[in-house]
Amino acid sequence: MSWKACLSRHLPIVRFFACPKSPASRGVFSWYQKNYEELKMLNPTMPLLLRCSDNAMPAITTELSFTTSHLLKYMLQKNKFQNPDGSPNEERREAAQKMLGYLADENLKKEYEVTRWNSPGFDPQRPFLEEDFPDWQSDPKISTDLKRYIEIHNELENTWALVTSGPNQEWTRGENALLMCQRVDLWCAGEAEVEAALKHLLNLGKECNDLVPDNPEYVTEFYPGASDL
């Protein structure tokens, strides 16, 4: 029961798809009917939807908040960075690993944000800046004040451009492939497979979503009250 009780902590919604006439959907129908009341009692605010239509592929879907880091890791693990002939592209793989390092570097993030304001009265991320002041980096004072910001920004821009420069819409295809991880097809699946699929989506939700933080099972820190009580 414990894993069912934390569904709404990590998944905003769960949709079950099935065909009411197809034997291939019996596992989804059966599991949903047997577990709906318990799931709804444990997760009263969470939508648990059953979508039925003729010839529908039995499946479970949810919504996951994937980040750029998730996408980069996915494309590296699945060898999505490829040359037109299908061989791995080491240059883009290295750029993706470098970008992952940048995204995980809290000190770099802080430095990037702090150095953004080193030139009083000027914001290099102001909307329409490139249209209103396209040569701002040529200004001696601004370029001196924002030297470190410009270095970090250009490095990030160049790395990102390389990561997303793959042929045949490689980056977009990777995004679409990752989004399909929100769905588990269950053709001719039994009840055990349906439950395993939902647990799988829950584990992904724990990694990607942050709806309600899990409270610790035990109190690990104690803060005494006022000393005069």
Render pLDDT for 174-197 as a digit per residue (tens, 0 to 9): 999 999 999 999 999 999 999 999
The residue from 158, 177, 196 where one domain ends is 177
For residues 30 and 188, give the distance between their C-alpha atoms in angstroms, rounded to a whole number. 12
Residues 58 and 76 in one domain: no
Stretch 96-119: mean pLDDT: 95
Residues 172 and 183 in one domain: no
Residues 52 and 126 in one domain: no
- Between 224 and 71, the more confident residue is 71
Residue 127 has pLDDT above 50, yes or no: yes
Residue 224 has pLDDT above 70, yes or no: no
Residues 160 and 83 in one domain: yes
Give a yes or no: residue 118 inside a domain.
yes
Q: Where are the beta strands (DSSP E) in the chain?
A: 14-18, 48-52, 59-62, 183-185
Give a yes or no: residue 55 inside a domain.
yes
- Between 226 and 55, the more confident residue is 55
Give a yes or no: residue 57 inside a domain.
yes
Range of the domain at 99: 68-177
Give a yes or no: residue 228 inside a domain.
no
Stretch 28-40: mean pLDDT: 94
Residues 58 and 130 in one domain: no
Residues 91 and 159 in one domain: yes
Structurally, the chain folds into a number of domains equal to: 2
Residue 228 has pLDDT above 70, yes or no: no
Residue 119 has pLDDT above 80, yes or no: yes
Residues 38 and 24 in one domain: yes
Give a yes or no: residue 105 inside a domain.
yes
Please answer whether residues 32 and 66 qualify as being in contact, where contact means their C-beta atoms are separated by less than 8 angstroms: no
Residues 154 and 204 in one domain: no
Residue 22 belongs to domain with CATH number? 3.40.30.10
Over the chain, what is the mean pLDDT?
A: 91
Give a yes or no: residue 217 inside a domain.
no
- Burial, 63: exposed, middle or buried (Cβ in 10 Å; 0-12, 13-18, 19+)? middle
Residues 184 and 199 in one domain: yes
Give a yes or no: residue 139 inside a domain.
yes
Give a yes or no: residue 20 inside a domain.
yes
